[in-house]
Amino acid sequence: MSVSVDISWKSLNKHHEELCGDKVEVLKKDDSEIIILADGMGSGVKANILATLTSKILGTMFLEGASIEACVETIAKTLPVCKVREVAYATFSILQIFHNGEAYLAEFDNPKCVFVRDGEIVDYPYEERVIEDKTIREYRFQVKLKDCFVLMSDGVIYAGVGELLNFGWTWESMAEYTLKCTKETLSASRLAAMLSQACDDLYGQKPGDDTTVAVARVIERRILNIFTGPPTHKEDDERVVRDFMNQEGKKVVCGGTSANITARVLKKEIITSLNYADPSVPPTASIEGLDLVTEGVLTIGKAMGLLRRYENDDFDEAFFDELDADNGASKLAKLIIEECTELNLFVGKAMNTAHQNSNLPFDLSVRMNLVEQLRECVEHLGKTVRVTYY
């Protein structure tokens, strides 16, 4: 079995602080994905530096194949010691999920990871080891498809202290809420947004501590194929459509000319939707055998707006309402964010006559530029992108 991991995280800064004292690093290796969540002592700049140092050192050493002992030893020796409490302080959780299904988790002083499997909270056995006077919990286990893991900083379990609840919501109440949310949602990003929102609400929108949740869900590979733009030479129409249709995974065509080419080669008709749910986004169409057919440049541009917000961590529950909207741009962005681990782009380089004849300063470069932006953004989201030009 080969698994992929859907990863997302969300941080709330302590009220009145510019910088977050928690840091999340996500690393990709050929054989695995690694998530590191570090929580620096205190808040603000100092905590941010401690957390950043910790996550970077752990990440770099882990990528180089260092053992957990070596990592912890280095952290213990590197981090400055707090004069008052005499501890060098940053807590951390490291979760590594291998594509063959093996997993490893190490936790130092962070709240325990929430494991959800088959609709239940699971307790995995762990071993405690003392390294450099620090007690580390280590877990080794096999993952299954749809398993979900939530790492968190201690701001999560202190949410609500003194505000709405007399004693904060406990780890158990957090785990229960996670379970409830996983029944409703599939993607890591939605779950991270829901959990973060719950913490923010419990704090009355004034977090008393840096609060971070990092979610990893074990999913199958999901391939998304997008064909946009007519090929330079008309005789390549058949080839691009064949290449595109022969891929496994979902199929999306963006652009009127591209849709006409696809329909002609496949001998199918295009049925245009009359749904103008959002007048600012051109309507979609449908072609039998395809998952989505949209207009080109305007729709991709709008979808890029949503992808950029997501890339910049600017997502909350309201963002997902926009993502669920019934228009081509939202549908395209949703496929990329939530239903794709690998993206294949099939891009035609012909000048579009619709653009040439108009007086708009609109030419091939606009679409090429959008495709390039899309590629960069999706790669930045940790997905594999392949582009083929015709």
Per-residue confidence of the chain (390 residues) as pLDDT tens digits?
Answer: 788 999 999 999 999 999 999 999 999 888 999 999 999 988 899 899 999 999 999 999 988 989 888 998 898 888 877 777 666 689 999 999 999 999 999 999 999 999 999 999 999 999 999 888 888 999 999 999 999 999 999 999 888 765 555 556 789 989 999 999 988 777 999 999 999 999 999 898 999 999 999 999 999 999 999 999 999 999 999 999 999 999 999 999 999 999 999 999 999 999 998 877 788 899 999 999 999 999 999 999 999 999 999 999 889 889 999 999 999 999 999 999 999 999 999 999 987 665 555 555 555 678 889 999 999 999 999 899 999 999
Assess whether 183 and 242 both reside in one domain: no
Q: What is the domain extent for residue 168? A: 4-219
Which SS3 state, helix, strand or coil, does residue 379 take? Answer: helix
Q: What are phi and psi of 152, to 5 degrees?
A: -150, 155
CATH number of domain containing 81:
3.60.40.10
Q: What is the DSSP string of 170-218?
A: -HHHHHHHHHHHHHH--SHHHHHHHHHHHHHHHTTT--SS-EEEEEEEE
**Residue ending a domain, choose from 161, 194, 219:** 219
Q: What is the DSSP string of 113-155?
A: PEEEETTEEE----EEEEETTEEEEEEEEE--TT-EEEEE-TT
**Half-sphere exposure at residue 191, Cβ-oriented, CA atoms within 13 angstroms:** 30
Domain count, the chain: 2
Assess whether 372 and 286 both reside in one domain: yes
Q: What are phi and psi of 45, to 5 degrees?
A: -60, -45
Q: Which residues pair with 36 in a beta bridge?
A: 25, 94
Assess whether 177 and 302 both reside in one domain: no
Q: For the chain, how far is it from start to end, CA to CA, in angstroms?
A: 34
For residue 364, the model assigns a pLDDT of 60
- Residue 235 DSSP label: G
Type and span of the H or E element at 55? helix 44-63
Assess whether 158 and 214 both reside in one domain: yes
Assess whether 316 and 352 both reside in one domain: yes
**Residue ending a domain, choose from 191, 219, 247:** 219
How far is Cα 139 from Cα 254, in angstroms, rounded to an integer? 45
**Residue ending a domain, choose from 170, 185, 219:** 219
How far is Cα 355 from Cα 352, in angstroms, rounded to an integer? 5
Assess whether 205 and 64 both reside in one domain: yes
For residue 79, the model assigns a pLDDT of 81
- Residue 255 DSSP label: S
Assess whether 356 and 310 both reside in one domain: yes
Type and span of the H or E element at 36? strand 32-40
Assess whether 148 and 255 both reside in one domain: no
Assess whether 155 and 303 both reside in one domain: no
How far is Cα 198 from Cα 66, in angstroms, rounded to an integer? 37
How far is Cα 333 from Cα 323, in angstroms, rounded to an integer? 7
For residue 198, the model assigns a pLDDT of 92
- Strand pairing report for 384-389 and 342-347: parallel
Assess whether 152 and 288 both reside in one domain: no
Which residue's entry shows tokens 């064909």?
A: 227
Q: Which residues pair with 345 in a beta bridge?
A: 226, 387
Token pair listed for 112: 């325990």
Token pair listed for 236: 């390549």
Assess whether 161 and 29 both reside in one domain: yes
CB 373 within 8 A of CB 379: no
Which residue's entry shows tokens 């620096």?
A: 40
Assess whether 242 and 289 both reside in one domain: yes
How far is Cα 249 from Cα 222, in angstroms, rounded to an integer? 7
